[in-house]
Amino acid sequence: MAITREKLAALDPVWTRLRGEAEAMAAREVALAAFLDASILRHGRLEEALAYYLARKMGGDDLGAFAASEIFEAAMAADPEIGAAARADLSAVLERDPACQTLAEAFLYYKGFQALQCYRVAHHLWTVDRRPLALFFQSRISQLFAVDIHPAAKLGRGIMIDHATGVVIGETAIVEDDVSMLHGVTLGGTGKEGGNRHPIIRRGVLLSIGAKILGHIEIGEYARVGAGSVVLKSVPPGCTAVGVPARLVNCAGVARPSQEMNHLIEDDSD
CATH assignment at residue 268: 2.160.10.10
The mean predicted confidence, pLDDT, of the chain is 93
- The structural domain count of the chain equals 2
Residues 142 and 171 in one domain: no
What 3 state SS string does 170-208 have?
CCCCEECCCCEECCCCEEECCCCCCCCCCCEECCCCEEC
Residues 95 and 111 in one domain: yes
Query: What is the per-residue pLDDT across 24-62, written as a single tens digit (0 to 9) for each?
Result: 999 999 999 999 999 999 999 999 999 999 999 999 999
Residue at a domain's end among 103, 127, 151: 151
Range of the domain at 239: 153-270
Query: What is the per-residue pLDDT across 148-207, written as a single tens digit (0 to 9) for each?
Result: 999 999 999 999 999 999 999 999 999 999 999 999 999 999 876 678 999 999 999 999
pTM score over 0.75: yes
Residue 13 CA to its chain's centroid (Å): 20
